[in-house]
Amino acid sequence: MSHTFPPEALLHKPLMANLATTTHDGAPRNAPVWFLWEDGALWIPATEGGSSARRLRHDPRCAVEIVEFDGPGGILLHLGMRGRAAVVATRPALFRRLLGKYLGPEDGWNPWFVDTVARIDAPDTRLIRMSPDSTFTSNVSYFRTGPALAANPGAAP
């Protein structure tokens, strides 16, 4: 037995997503990614020559899985999305919002990380824009308690 929940219950949390793509010969590949949900799409950091960007240019079909798991708290929420992605020019303001989701206020960001890894304004920085064609949620938070006591992530606290 599975219960659904509103996707927004996970989309705005600083959780890791897994981006699934395929290689030229159809072999599956998976990458953990940070993301921002905005304008009906997932936005994922990339670089011009990065492996996910190269694979998506060849075949834009992809899947994204987001899971929130808290064993002691009895939470197990799964959000799956299927659709197509495009590798687009970076949008520095959007990229900064994405980083803020994971790093907190900008004045506390590690300059080494921003300059060396995130590279917001670098010429080869890109964003992956994933537009879901389908979305699936599954709340199996009752794995400890039974379905009658399942957490309702869409309810107000």
Q: How does the average pLDDT of the chain come out, rounded?
A: 90
pLDDT at 22: 95
Beta carbons within 10 angstroms of residue 124's beta carbon? 12
How does pLDDT run across 87-133, given as a tens digit for each residue? 999 999 999 999 999 999 999 999 999 889 889 888 899 999 999 99
Reply yes or no on whether the pLDDT at 157 is more than 60: no
C-alpha distances in Å from residue 65, one per residue of 7, 33, 42, 57, 148? 11, 10, 11, 20, 26
Domain ranges of the chain: 8-90+124-146
pLDDT at 4: 84
Q: Global pTM? A: 0.87
**Statement: 8-90+124-146 belongs to CATH 2.30.110.10:** yes
Are 90 and 129 contacting, i.e. CB atoms less than 8 angstroms apart?
no
pLDDT at 1: 45
* The residue to which tokens 């929940």 are assigned: 5
How does pLDDT run across 141-150, given as a tens digit for each residue? 876 666 665 5
pLDDT at 150: 57
